[in-house]
Structure 1
Amino acid sequence: MGTRHLEALFNPKSIAVIGASERSNNLGGMVLRNLMSTDYSGRLVVVNDKGYHDVHGVPCVKRPQQMPFRPDLAIICTPPESVPRIVRVLGNVKVKTAMILTGGLSRTHSRSGRPLMYSVQEIASEYGIRILGPETIGMLSPASNLNATYMHMGVLPGKIAYIGQSGSLASAVIDWAFTRGIGFSHLTTLGDGIDVGLDDLIDYLAQDRSTKAILLHMENIHSPRRFISAVRAVSRGKLVIAVKSGRTPASQWRPAELPLGVVDGDKIFDAVFRRAGVLRVNGADEMFDALETLTRMKPVRGEPLHIISNGLGPGVLAVDRLASLNGELGSLSPETVSELGKHLPPYWTRRNPIDLNYDANPELYRRTLEILGRDPHVSNVLVLYAPSLTEDSLQVADAVIEAGKRSHLNIFTCWLGHSTVYDAREAFFHSGVPTFSTPDKAVKAFMHMVNHQRSQRVLRETPESYTDPIVDRSRARKTIQKIYASGRRVLTNAESRQILTDYGINMLDTRYCETEEQVVEVAREFGAPVDIRILHEHSCIPFKDEKTGRGRYKGRVKGLVEEASIRDSCRYLLTHYREHYPDSGFLGFAVQPSFQTVGGVGFSLGVTRDPVFGPLMVCGASGAAVNVSTDRKLALPPLNMVLARDLLQQTHMFRLLKDYSYNREQDIAKICETLVILSQIIIDIPEIKGLEVMPLYFDKHGAVAVNAMIDLDKPAKLAIQPYPQELREWIMLPKSKRKAEIRPVRGEDEPSHIEFYSGLSPESIRYRFFHYRKSFTHDEMVQMLQIDYDREMAFIAMSPKESGYGEDTLGTVRAWTDADNLQCEFAIIVRDDLRGENLGWVLMRKIIEYCREKGTVEMVGSVLPDNKPMLRLAEKLGFSIRYDDEEGVMALRLPLNAPDEWQAERLKSK
Structure 2
Amino acid sequence: MSVRNLQHLFSPNSVALIGASNKPHSVGVTVLHNLLGGGFAGVIMPVNPKYETLEGLHVYPTVASLPTAPDLAVICTPPATIPDIVTALGERGTRAAIVITAGLGAVKDREGVSMKDAMLTAAQPYLLRILGANCVGLLVPAMGLNASFAHTGALPGRLAFVSQSGALVTGVLDWAKSRGIGFSKFISLGDSADVDFGDTLDYLAGDPDTHAILLYIEDIRHARKFMSAARGAARSKTVIVLKAGRAPEGAKAAASHTGALAGADKVYDAAIRRAGMLRVFSTKDLFDAVEILAHTRPLVGERLTIVTNGGGPGVMATDALIASQGKLTELSPQTLERLDAILPATWSHGNPIDIIGDAPVERYRQSIEVLLQDRQADSLLFIHAPTAVVSSAVIAKAVAPLLRDAPQTTVACWLGGDAVAQARDIFSVAKIPTYDTPEDAVHGFIQIVQYRRNQELMMQVPSSVPSEFTPRYAAAQAVARDALSQGRSMLSEPEAKAMLAAYGIPVVETRVAHTVEQAVSAAREIGFPVAVKILSPEISHKSDVGGVVLDLETAEDVQASATAMHRRLSELRPEATLQGFSVQAMARRPEAHELIIGVTTDPVFGPVILFGQGGVAVEVMDDNTVGLPPLNMVLAHDMISRTRVSKLLAGYRNRPAANIDAVCRILIQVSHLVSDIPEIVELDINPLLTDARGVIALDARVRIRQPDTATGLERLAIRPYPKELEEWITWQGGPVLLRPIQPEDGAEHVTFFSALSPEDVRLRMFAQMHALQPSQLARFTQIDYDREMAFIATRKKINGGCETLGVARVVADPDNIQAEFAIVVRSDVKAQGLGTALMEKLIRYCRSRGTREITGEALTQNAGMLTLAKRFGFDIGPDFNSETTALRLDLRNDTADIQKRK
| TM value normalised by structure 2 | 0.90
Q: 1:479 to 1:524 in 2, by over 3 A?
A: closer
* Aligned equivalents of 2:651, 2:385: Cα separation in 1: 42
Q: How many residues matched?
A: 884
Q: Is the 8 Å Cα contact of residues 744 and 796 (structure 1) preserved in structure 2? A: yes
Shift of 1:121: 3.2
* Aligned equivalents of 1:462, 1:129: Cα separation in 2: 35
Q: Which amino acid aligns with 1:864?
A: L
Q: Deviations over 1:203-246 (max 9, x none)?
A: 00111122221111110001111000101111112111101012
Tell me which residue corresponds to 1:164.
163
Q: Which amino acid aligns with 2:177?
A: F
Tell me which residue corresponds to 2:651.
659
Within a 5 Å distance, the mapping from 1:169-180 to structure 2 comes to 169-180=168-179
* Aligned equivalents of 1:137, 1:44: Cα separation in 2: 19
Q: 1:752 to 1:472 in 2, by over 3 A?
A: farther
* Aligned equivalents of 1:525, 1:580: Cα separation in 2: 31
* Aligned equivalents of 1:297, 1:377: Cα separation in 2: 18
Q: Which amino acid aligns with 1:231?
A: A
Describe the SS at the equivalent of 2:861.
coil
Q: Which amino acid aligns with 1:274?
A: R
Q: Is the 8 Å Cα contact of residues 659 and 693 (structure 2) preserved in structure 1? A: no
Q: Is the 8 Å Cα contact of residues 658 and 692 (structure 2) preserved in structure 1? A: no
Q: 1:134 to 1:833 in 2, by over 3 A?
A: same
Moved more, 788-797 or 122-131: 122-131
* Aligned equivalents of 2:763, 2:590: Cα separation in 1: 58
Tell me which residue corresponds to 1:321.
320
Q: Is the 8 Å Cα contact of residues 663 and 700 (structure 1) preserved in structure 2? A: no
Tell me which residue corresponds to 2:900.
none
Describe the SS at the equivalent of 2:720.
coil
Q: 1:431 to 1:141 in 2, by over 3 A?
A: farther
Q: 1:338 to 1:676 in 2, by over 3 A?
A: closer
Q: Which amino acid aligns with 1:889?
A: T
1:783 aligns to 2:782 (yes or no)? no
Tell me which residue corresponds to 2:122.
123
* Aligned equivalents of 2:393, 2:22: Cα separation in 1: 48
Describe the SS at the equivalent of 2:135.
coil
Q: 1:478 to 1:754 in 2, by over 3 A?
A: farther
Within a 5 Å distance, the mapping from 1:650-689 to structure 2 comes to 650-659=642-651, 667-689=659-681
Q: Is the 8 Å Cα contact of residues 461 and 783 (structure 2) preserved in structure 1? A: no
Tell me which residue corresponds to 1:245.
244
Tell me which residue corresponds to 1:799.
795
Tell me which residue corresponds to 2:64.
65
Shift of 1:639: 1.3
* Aligned equivalents of 1:577, 1:75: Cα separation in 2: 65
Q: Which amino acid aligns with 1:689?
A: V
Q: 1:699 to 1:64 in 2, by over 3 A?
A: closer
* Aligned equivalents of 2:222, 2:252: Cα separation in 1: 16
Q: Which amino acid aligns with 1:652?
A: R
* Aligned equivalents of 1:91, 1:256: Cα separation in 2: 46
Moved more, 206-215 or 617-626: 617-626
Of 843, 849, 862 in structure 2, the residue corresponding to residue 848 of structure 1 is 843
1:589 aligns to 2:581 (yes or no)? yes
Shift of 1:420: 5.6
* Aligned equivalents of 1:408, 1:731: Cα separation in 2: 48
Tell me which residue corresponds to 1:42.
42
Tell me which residue corresponds to 2:51.
51
Q: Is the 8 Å Cα contact of residues 289 and 441 (structure 1) preserved in structure 2? A: no
Shift of 1:806: 4.0
1:725 aligns to 2:723 (yes or no)? yes
Q: Is the 8 Å Cα contact of residues 459 and 783 (structure 2) preserved in structure 1? A: no
Tell me which residue corresponds to 1:135.
134
Q: Is the 8 Å Cα contact of residues 484 and 706 (structure 2) preserved in structure 1? A: no
Shift of 1:311: 2.3
1:615 aligns to 2:607 (yes or no)? yes
Q: Which amino acid aligns with 2:600?
A: T
* Aligned equivalents of 2:551, 2:255: Cα separation in 1: 34
Shift of 1:14: 0.8
* Aligned equivalents of 2:337, 2:482: Cα separation in 1: 75
Tell me which residue corresponds to 1:742.
738
Q: Deviations over 1:276-303 (max 9, x none)?
A: 1111111223223223324444443432
Q: 1:898 to 1:85 in 2, by over 3 A?
A: farther
* Aligned equivalents of 1:494, 1:589: Cα separation in 2: 10
Of 689, 693, 696 in structure 1, the residue corresponding to residue 685 of structure 2 is 693
* Aligned equivalents of 1:342, 1:752: Cα separation in 2: 48
Moved more, 693-702 or 676-685: 693-702
* Aligned equivalents of 1:25, 1:564: Cα separation in 2: 84
Tell me which residue corresponds to 1:625.
617
* Aligned equivalents of 2:780, 2:174: Cα separation in 1: 42
Q: Is the 8 Å Cα contact of residues 258 and 265 (structure 1) preserved in structure 2? A: no
Q: Which amino acid aligns with 1:785?
A: T
Tell me which residue corresponds to 1:864.
859
Tell me which residue corresponds to 1:880.
875
Shift of 1:821: 1.2
* Aligned equivalents of 1:471, 1:92: Cα separation in 2: 56
Shift of 1:448: 0.7
Q: Which amino acid aligns with 1:170?
A: V
1:87 aligns to 2:82 (yes or no)? no
Shift of 1:614: 1.0
* Aligned equivalents of 2:207, 2:605: Cα separation in 1: 28
Tell me which residue corresponds to 1:894.
889
Describe the SS at the equivalent of 2:351.
coil
Within a 5 Å distance, the mapping from 1:64-463 to structure 2 comes to 64-106=63-105, 116-248=115-247, 260=256, 261-262=258-259, 263=261, 264-334=263-333, 336-337=335-336, 340-341=339-340, 344-360=343-359, 365-366=364-365, 368-378=367-377, 380-386=379-385, 388=387, 397=396, 401=400, 404-405=403-404, 407-408=406-407, 410-418=409-417, 425=424, 428-429=427-428, 432-460=431-459
* Aligned equivalents of 1:384, 1:728: Cα separation in 2: 55
Q: Is the 8 Å Cα contact of residues 100 and 132 (structure 1) preserved in structure 2? A: yes
Percent identity reads 39
Unaligned runs of 5+ in 2: 895-902
Describe the SS at the equivalent of 2:64.
helix
* Aligned equivalents of 2:237, 2:494: Cα separation in 1: 49
Describe the SS at the equivalent of 2:780.
helix
Tell me which residue corresponds to 1:907.
none
* Aligned equivalents of 2:337, 2:612: Cα separation in 1: 47
Question: What RMSD over aligned residues (CA atoms) do the two structures have, in Å?
Answer: 3.3
Moved more, 426-435 or 611-620: 426-435
Q: Deviations over 1:766-805 (max 9, x none)?
A: 44334455543554333223221110112233334446x5
Describe the SS at the equivalent of 2:347.
coil
* Aligned equivalents of 2:268, 2:461: Cα separation in 1: 25
Q: Which amino acid aligns with 2:790?
A: A
Tell me which residue corresponds to 1:528.
528
Tell me which residue corresponds to 1:714.
706
Q: 1:215 to 1:846 in 2, by over 3 A?
A: same
Describe the SS at the equivalent of 1:449.
helix
Q: Deviations over 1:64-101 (max 9, x none)?
A: 21111111001123344543443333233232111122
Q: Which amino acid aligns with 2:492?
A: T
1:564 aligns to 2:551 (yes or no)? no
Q: Is the 8 Å Cα contact of residues 259 and 610 (structure 1) preserved in structure 2? A: no
* Aligned equivalents of 2:205, 2:195: Cα separation in 1: 15
Shift of 1:551: 6.2
1:501 aligns to 2:501 (yes or no)? yes
Tell me which residue corresponds to 1:7.
7
Moved more, 490-499 or 402-411: 402-411
Tell me which residue corresponds to 1:470.
470
* Aligned equivalents of 1:473, 1:266: Cα separation in 2: 32
Describe the SS at the equivalent of 1:61.
coil
Q: 1:375 to 1:619 in 2, by over 3 A?
A: closer
Q: 1:699 to 1:389 in 2, by over 3 A?
A: closer
Shift of 1:647: 1.7
* Aligned equivalents of 1:313, 1:362: Cα separation in 2: 20
Q: Is the 8 Å Cα contact of residues 691 and 708 (structure 1) preserved in structure 2? A: yes
Q: Which amino acid aligns with 1:18?
A: I
Q: Is the 8 Å Cα contact of residues 857 and 898 (structure 1) preserved in structure 2? A: no
